[in-house]
Amino acid sequence: MKGSHTYRHVHEWAFWGFVAPSLVLFFLFFLIPLVLSVGFSFTDYDGWKRLNFVGLANYAEMFQDKNFYYALGRTFRYTLVNLPFKVFIPLLFAMLATSSYVKGKGLARTLIYIPVLLSALVVGITINWMFSAEYGLVNFLIQKMGGKPLQWALNSNLATFVISFASNWSSAGFYMIIFMGGITNINRDLLEAASIDGANSRQTFFHITLPLLAPTTFLVVLLSTINLLKEYALVQGVTQGGPGLRTTFIIQFIIDKGFKQMQYGYASAVSFIAMIIFGIIAFVQFKVSNEGGEN
Amino acid sequence: MKEARTDMGNTIHARRKTLGMTIVAYGICLIMVFPIIWLVFSSFKGAGELFAYPLHLLPRHFTVSNYTKVFENGFFRYIGNSMYLAIVGTLITLVISSMCGYALAVYRFELSYTNKVFAVFLLGTLIPGETLTIPQVSVISFLGLYNNIWGVILPVVTTTTGIFLFRQHYMSIPLSFVEAARIDGSSEFRTFASVMLPLGTSPLITLAIFSFMWRWNDYILPLLVLSNQENYTIQIAIKNYIGFNGVDWSSILSASVISIIPVIVIFIVLQRYFMEGIAAAGVKE
C-alpha cells in the first residue's frame, strides 16, 4: 500500500519534470503575453515609459478608426477571394500527382513542393522580381506581345493580385500533399466498382472522390483561411503594405501601430479583436472535426 | 477478333492519355519552379544586364559580382547567426518536445491531469503567435533578451505540433516496454532516454527538419527583437535591401538565392520525412 503510494509520487515528480521546460516557456512566451495583451488594451502604453489605465478608450477609438475597418475589410476580402484558389489548385495538383496516367509522379511532387520551402519574405521577393514594373519579366512579355507595361506596385488591385499570386504559388505544394493523403485513403474498391458500373472519370470524381474528400477539403479550407487572414511577411517582400495602406492587412496594421507608431495599447486592442476572430475559426474547426470523429 | 481490336484501341487510348496527362503535370511543374529558376539566373547577371531590355533567361555575361557584394556586406555573419538560431533552436525543440510528448503519453492512464496539461498546450494552436507580438516583445525586453539571439530562440522553441507529434508516437508504443524497464530498476528519466527515445527516430527527424526550416525562415520576431546589425539573421538582412526608395535588386537576388540553399538541400536529402510529417500531423507551425 505504502509502496504504491511512493511509486505514484515518483511518477508525479517525473511527469512534471518532463513537461516543465515546455510548460515554463509556454507560460512565459504565450500565456503571459496573452494576458498582457488584454491588459495593455486598456492602457495608453507606448512600449517605453507611459502606462496609464484608459478604460475602453482604445476600443472606442478603434471602432471609429476608418483605417482599422479598411484593414479588416481588406483582409476578409483578400481571404475570401483567394480561398477557392487555395483549395482547387492544390486539389487539381493532387489528382495529377496520384493519377495512374502520370509518369514520374515522385519528381513532379518534389518540384511542386519546392516553393513551400522558401520563407514568406523570399516568396514575396521572388514573385515581385517577375512583376517589377521596370525590367520585370511579366511586363517585358506584355510589351513583346504589343501591350502596355502595367504598374504592378502602384495600382492597388494589381498589387493585391501579385500578392495573391505569390501566396498561392507558395502554398499549393503544401495543400497538395494534404489532399494526396486524403485521396490515397479512398478505398480503391469503390473507384473500381464505379468504373465497372460504367461511370466515366468525371462522374467518378464528382460523385465518389469529391464527397469522400470532404474532411480533407475542410481541413485545407481552415488552414488556408487562417494563413490568409494572417498574411504578413510575404507582403513585405512585395509592396510593404502600399500603395498607401492599400495592401496593409490586419497583422501588419497591428505591428505598424505598435512598433512604428508606438501605440502599444491601441495595437493590443486591435490584436484582441483579431484573436477573437481566430478563436472563432479554431472553435468551428474543433466542433466540426469532433463531429467528424463520431461518425 | 473484334475483342482484340477494342483491346488495342484501349491501349492506344490509355497511352495517349498517359502522354497527355504527363505533359500537363510537367507543364505545371515548370510553372511552379520557373520563378525560382528566373531568380537564380537573374542573380548571376550584372547590373547592366539586369536593368536592360530585352531580357534573356540565361545571363549573357555570367558574373558572381552580386554574390561577392553581399558577402562583403557581412553576409557570412548573418548566415552564421541564422545557423545558430536554427540549429540551437531545433536542438532545444527536440529535447523539450520529446520529453513533454513522452510524459503526456506514458502517464496518461496513471495521472488524471495529463490531458488537462495537454489541453493547455493546445491553446497554442488556437491563437496565432502573430497576434501576440507586442506583449511578447515586452516579455523579451523584461527578461533582458532584447537584441539578443536568445530573445528570438526561447519564445518559439515550444511548438504544440512537436509535442503532439511525440505524444502520438509514444502512445503507439505499448506501455509494457516502460513497465519492463521499471521492473529492471531503471529510473523514469533513464527509461525515457535510453529505452523509449531510441525507439522513435522518425518523429525526431521529422520535427528536426521542420523546426530547422521554421527557424531559418523566421521573420517577425527577429525583425522586432534584433536591432543591432551584427545580430541580424539572414531574413532580416534580406529585408534591409528593401528601402524607402525601392529595392536593391542586385543584392537582394543573390541574398535570396543564398537563403534558400540550405532548406532545399535538406529537403532533397530527407524528402520522405517531409511528406510523412505533413501526412501525420498536418505539420505547419
Question: Kindly report the CA angle at A109 between B42 and A213, in degrees rounded to 5?
Answer: 130
pLDDT reading at A292 higher than 70 = no
Contact A102 B22 (CB under 8 A): yes
Q: Positive or negative CA dihedral for B178, B181, B182, B186?
A: negative
Instruction: Average the pLDDT over each of A140-149, A202-211, A280-289, B51-60 and give the range with the smallest value.
Output: A280-289
Contact A126 B133 (CB under 8 A): no
Q: What is the pTM of this model?
A: 0.92
The per-residue DSSP string of B154-215 comes to GGGS--HHHHHHHHHHHHTS-THHHHHHHHTT--HHHIIIIIIGGG-HHHHHHHHHHHHHHH
Cβ within 8 Å of A, B 16-75: 17-18, 20-22, 24-26, 28-29, 32-33, 35-36, 38-39, 42, 50-55
Chain B hits for A47, CB-CB cut-off 8 Å, are: 134, 137-138
CA-nearest of B53, B172, B150 to B101 is: B172
The number of residues in chain A equals: 295
* Cell (9 digits) for A190: 469503390
In order of A25, B66, B237, B264, the CA distances from B50 in angstroms are 47, 11, 21, 25
Exposure b/e, B41-51, CB count within 10 A at least 16 = b? bbbbbbeebbe
Cβ within 8 Å of A, B 226-265: 235, 238-239, 242, 247, 249, 252-253, 256, 259-260, 263-264
Cβ within 8 Å of A, B 162-221: 163, 188-189, 192, 213, 216-217, 219-220
Band of pLDDT at residue B136, cut at 50, 70 and 90 = very high
Please give the DSSP secondary-structure letter assigned to residue A248: -
pLDDT reading at A143 higher than 50 = yes
CB of A225 closer than 8 Å to CB of A281:
yes
ipTM of predicted complex: 0.92
pLDDT reading at A189 higher than 90 = no
pLDDT reading at B1 higher than 50 = no
Cβ within 8 Å of A, B 88-127: 95-97, 99-100, 102-104, 107, 110-111, 114, 117, 120-121, 123-127
- Which residue in chain B has the smallest CA separation from A93? B25
Per-residue pLDDT, A294? 40
Band of pLDDT at residue A293, cut at 50, 70 and 90 = very low
Band of pLDDT at residue A291, cut at 50, 70 and 90 = low
The per-residue DSSP string of B8-50 comes to HHHHHHHHHHHHHHHHHHHHHHHHHHHHHHHHHHHHTB-HHHH
Contact A122 B259 (CB under 8 A): yes
Contact B104 A19 (CB under 8 A): yes
For the stretch B3-51, pLDDT in tens is 555 666 678 888 898 999 999 999 999 999 999 999 999 999 998 888 8
Per-residue pLDDT, B40? 97
Chain A hits for B139, CB-CB cut-off 8 Å, are: 28-29, 32-33, 36
Contact B22 A101 (CB under 8 A): yes
Per-residue pLDDT, B4? 54
Band of pLDDT at residue B53, cut at 50, 70 and 90 = confident
Mean pLDDT for the stretch of residues B163-173: 91
Instruction: Average the pLDDT over each of B15-19, B210-214, B276-280 and give the range with the smallest value.
Output: B276-280
Query: Distance (Å, rounded) from C-alpha B134 to C-alpha A56?
Result: 19
Query: Distance (Å, rounded) from C-alpha B172 to C-alpha B187?
Result: 22
Burial (CB count within 10 angstroms: exposed 0-12, middle 13-18, buried 19+), residue B227: exposed
Chain B hits for A131, CB-CB cut-off 8 Å, are: none
For the stretch B180-196, pLDDT in tens is 998 998 899 999 998 89
Chain B hits for A169, CB-CB cut-off 8 Å, are: 32, 35
Chain A hits for B54, CB-CB cut-off 8 Å, are: 140, 144
Chain A hits for B193, CB-CB cut-off 8 Å, are: none
Determine the distance in angstroms separating the CA of A79 from the nearest CA of chain B, rounded to an integer: 16
Which member of B18, B104, B117 has the closest CB to residue A103? Answer: B18
Mean pLDDT for the stretch of residues A235-247: 92
pLDDT reading at A13 higher than 70 = yes
Instruction: Average the pLDDT over each of A281-285, B89-93, B239-243 and give the range with the smallest value.
Output: A281-285
Chain A hits for B108, CB-CB cut-off 8 Å, are: none
Mean pLDDT of chain B: 90
Chain B hits for A134, CB-CB cut-off 8 Å, are: 51
Q: Give me the percent of chain B exceeding a pLDDT of 70.
A: 94
Higher per-residue confidence, A99 vs A290: A99
Q: Where do the domains of chain A lie, and which CATH numbers do they carry?
A: 36-294 (1.10.3720.10)
| Domain B71-281 -> CATH class | mainly alpha
Instruction: Break chain B into its structural domains and give their ranges.
Output: 2-65, 71-281
Per-residue pLDDT, B285? 45
